Structure 1
Amino acid sequence: HTNENALFVIDAGTQNPYMASDYVTKKSGRRTVFDRGHGNLGYALSAAIGAQVASPQSKVFSMFGDGSFAMSVGELETASRLGLPVVFLLFQNNSYGWIKKLHQLYYDERYIGVDFSQINGAKIAEGFNIRSLRIDSNEKLEEGLKWAIDQQGPVFLDILIEPITDIVPPVTNWREDSKLDPSKREALTY
């Protein structure tokens, strides 16, 4: 329920293909910033601050995973100090999910250095004087998003999501790659 001036800054990782495949624009123009091709984790949090300064009439949404959050969490201080009305959305699955999915698909589920402990992103954001909510079920998501959109300053949603190893993001080469076991390729088709 965003307005047509909303701007979306999407980090590398799991949220990226979903936004690329499912986001419907409300007007023409550059309203999304994807870090898709470069895979720079930690990009969306700080880039959203720049987008908000460049487009003060827009509500900016910054979407990132917990691996990216760990790399750029300090930028919340900047958003808080400047009072920028960015909506920060942390998608937390306790791993470098994209890399973990690659380990699952191509390396027989031999996971190396991709898992970490769950954090409380909402409390971390509150430490930077940013209002926050922790969302731990699908039923709370819509209400949480509406709340965040209605806020004037920076806000933070800590959204707990399922592990990427349980799902298959819409990534074409994962569905078509000849190196994959045929049974895994079949599971990747829609």
Structure 2
Amino acid sequence: MGAGHGQELVLSQAMEQLEMFKPVSKWQVTLSQPSALENVVDQAIRVAVSGRPGPVVIAMPDDVGDLDFQWQRRVRPSAQYPRHRSAPDPSQIQAARQALSKAKKSVLLAGGGVHSSGALKEVAALARKLGAPLVTTITGKGVMAETDPQVFGVAGTMGNPNANVVVRQADLVFFIGCKAGQLATFGYDCPAYGVTTIHLDIDPEEIGRNFPDSIALVGDARLGLAGLLAALDGDSLAYQWDLEALRQKGRQWYDEMTLRPQVLGEPLKAQAVTRLIDEAMQPGDMVVCDASLPSGWAAAYLRLKEAGRYYLAPRGLAGLGWGAPAAVGAALARPHAKRVLLFAGDGGYAFSNQEMEVMVRLKLPVITCLFNNNALGWIKHVQLARYGDNYISSDFNHIDFATVSRGFGARGYTVNTLDELREALAKESDPQGPALIDMRTDEYETPVLRSVSAESAY
């Protein structure tokens, strides 16, 4: 809707809607006449699935929607992603090959683009060929099973410190299908300055943005990796990683963080809670995380047992309330999945807890694991670092979400001990419809590795 008489009267719906969508979508258009609908929809599909995929917006004014229109049956453009695959420049493939051959400690850092490209087999083949460790971004989680001896988990600010140690020790980091952004690179400190980098991505604007000297492989992840594997065929690579020592260090960190004894009467530690959920996971379970700290708990402490896109999280980590509707979408998109496990905090879940009605009505097997600490945890941690005990609007009264869920017609559990959590998870091993497990967790625990300060908080 454009400017006009309605805007002058300040009608609530008379805003510049397309301007509002521009920062978060690839393409925006207003449908001005019904006869253009087919062409507009076709173009929207093409834009959405070309290059780096993303949402598009079609605005249809009420008066246009009221007009008669005869839809013509014709072949629609493919909505499959990637719509077109492009391979990197062969000369750059050779440059990457030479760099990998010279390196003594290469590491692969894989992002969500590997999932989108369907390049899981190629990533695994390259890791085997190189004998190199693999770490991931949050959205790249699951490109290989995290129980694989060459996989060291999620790197970056919301990952695990052992993955960052691996990246720090590398003399070459290969970014695959990721932006090499702030979270994944620990505020651009991992890899260290001067380390050789290779960057394979579908979007040329991302390559060199944060690591200017990267060897640029512009193209589809699957085609790019296939070309690189062919170039490396027959090459003998002698790396100097002691993977067993790294694995031992990772196991030690995981046990130290997740096996701390619970003090009776005190809130649960989210690390221990996530370990129990990890142990209760079954093949095919989908994991959906709401924004903020729940995404970090699952990223760092949940270990996916099989390769595939079984983990979904909002990449920017700031869109509170995303989790519940995303869990509905995941359950509908994968009806064969026995369960969808939703990780959410009480602050974020309060934005969209009404989605429980949809889950009940559609009998969706969504099990919400609610980290309830009576606070907006991330905000409170930032305020603590900046202002001491001067908290502003980050604490609120306790909400009994188990009772709220039962009011919607779902099953609700209140959990104060690890034994109670273990029992609730066992009861929901084969759910018929949704349930919520309200876990009373410690408000001062955080998965964020960087010390939060006025300069580094975000």
Query: TM-score over 0.5 for the alignment?
Result: yes
- Write the mapping of 1:65-144 to structure 2, written as runs, cut at 5 A: 65-144=345-424
* SS of residue matched to 1:101: helix
Unaligned residue ranges in structure 1 (runs of 5+): 181-190
Aligned equivalent of 2:318, options 21, 24, 39? 39
Change (3 A) 1:36 1:120: same
Q: Which amino acid aligns with 2:306?
A: K
Pair 1:29-2:335 in alignment: no
Q: Of the two structures, which has the highest relative contact order with CA contacts closer than 8 Å and spacing of 6 or more?
A: 1
How many residues matched? 176
Q: Deviations over 1:81-139 (max 9, x none)?
A: 00111111211111111110111123323210001000110110001100111111223
Q: Which has the higher helix share?
A: 1
Q: Distance in 2 between matches of 1:56 and 1:106?
A: 46
Unaligned residue ranges in structure 2 (runs of 5+): 1-279
**Structure 1 position 179, deviation (Å):** 5.5
Q: Distance in 2 between matches of 1:92 and 1:38?
A: 18
Of 34-43 and 53-62, deviating more is 34-43
Which residue of 2 is the match for residue 151 of structure 1? 431
Q: Tell me if the contact between 1:63 and 1:90 (Cα under 8 Å) persists in the aligned partners.
A: yes
Q: Deviations over 1:1-52 (max 9, x none)?
A: 2222111001112222121111111111100001242411111111000000
* SS of residue matched to 1:9: strand
TM-score by length of 1: 0.86
Q: Distance in 2 between matches of 1:132 and 1:66?
A: 14
CA-atom RMSD in angstroms: 1.8
TM-score by length of 2: 0.37
Q: Tell me if the contact between 1:87 and 1:149 (Cα under 8 Å) persists in the aligned partners.
A: no
Q: Distance in 1 between matches of 2:373 and 2:328?
A: 24
Q: Distance in 1 between matches of 2:454 and 2:409?
A: 49
Which residue of 2 is the match for residue 188 of structure 1? none
Q: Which amino acid aligns with 1:47?
A: A
Which residue of 1 is the match for residue 297 of structure 2? 18
* SS of residue matched to 2:398: coil
Pair 1:170-2:447 in alignment: yes
**Structure 1 position 74, deviation (Å):** 0.9
Change (3 A) 1:119 1:170: closer
Q: Bigger radius of gyration, 1 or 2?
A: 2
Q: Distance in 2 between matches of 1:82 and 1:96?
A: 30
* SS of residue matched to 1:53: helix
Runs of 4+ in 1 over 4 A off after TM superposition: 177-180
* SS of residue matched to 2:395: coil
Q: Which amino acid aligns with 1:172?
A: L
Pair 1:49-2:322 in alignment: no
Of 71-80 and 148-157, deviating more is 148-157
* SS of residue matched to 2:428: helix
* SS of residue matched to 1:78: helix
Q: Tell me if the contact between 1:148 and 1:156 (Cα under 8 Å) persists in the aligned partners.
A: no
Identity %: 33
